[in-house]
Amino acid sequence: MLVLDIPARDLFNEATFEFIKTPACTLKLEHSLLSISKWESKWHKSLINNIRQLTPEEFISYIKCMTLNQVPNDNIYTGLNEKALKQIVDYINDPMTASTVREDGRRGGGQYVTSELVYYWMTALNIPFECEKWHFNRLMMLIKICNAKNQPSKKMSKGAIMKRNKALNDARRAQLHSKG
């Protein structure tokens, strides 16, 4: 969870030529599958595949979806400064895990990743839905690990088997001082 203390500010609304006071507040944010699902239900497009191309309005909307606590008014979001926005972006990009999974280099076939697809993966891999509240990158790493562990072991080629058996036989011959 990311906790941001937002100070009180005076903002100017250029459309109405009015000053707006925003009270100080604390934002508690969680980049989770649940937050992504809320955002996608509003915007009807994949957040995961479009996160780098969001308009400022869409990004503020996602921050609202990430918010876990009550906020005094929506002007808090429009008044976020560059430092707070950078902290949010850094938090979203943080892997939140030390685990890694080797990529096999195969292409994904151009499939868009949506929250429903991630829920499907969770169902197929028997990952409990309570994990939807985890940081999203940590959940995705768990999915990758489950996929890697569920892959059938690769069979050795005949040449590799013969090479391994020859090395084992040579080692036994050397150990037993025999010719065969």
Instruction: Sketch the domain layout of the chain as residue ranges.
Output: 1-96+110-180
Inform me whether the pLDDT recorded for 90 exceeds 60: yes
What is the per-residue pLDDT for 102?
A: 67
CA pair distance 167, 14, nearest whole angstrom: 79
What is the per-residue pLDDT for 74?
A: 85
Q: 33-47, 98-112, 166-180 — which is least confidently predicted?
A: 98-112
CA pair distance 170, 168, nearest whole angstrom: 5
pLDDT band, very low/low/confident/very high, at 145 (cuts 50, 70, 90):
very high
Biggest alpha carbon–alpha carbon distance for the chain: 97
142-155 average pLDDT score: 88
Residue identified by tokens 């929250």 is 115
72 φ, ψ to 5°? Answer: -55, -45
DSSP string for residues in the chain = -EEEEEPPEEEEETTTTEEEEE--EEEEE---HHHHHHHHHHH-S-HHHHGGG--HHHHHHHHHHHB-S--S-THHHHT--HHHHHHHHHHHH----S-----------SPPP-HHHHHHHHHHTT--GGGGGS-HHHHHHHHHHHHHHHSPPPPPPHHHHHHHHHHHHHHHHHHHT---
Residue identified by tokens 């489950």 is 146
Q: What's the predicted TM-score (pTM) here?
A: 0.70
What is the per-residue pLDDT for 19?
A: 85
Q: pLDDT tens for residues 103-127?
A: 665 555 567 788 888 999 999 999 9
19 φ, ψ to 5°? Answer: -90, 140
CA pair distance 131, 122, nearest whole angstrom: 9
For residue 12, the cross-strand partners are 19
59-78 average pLDDT score: 92
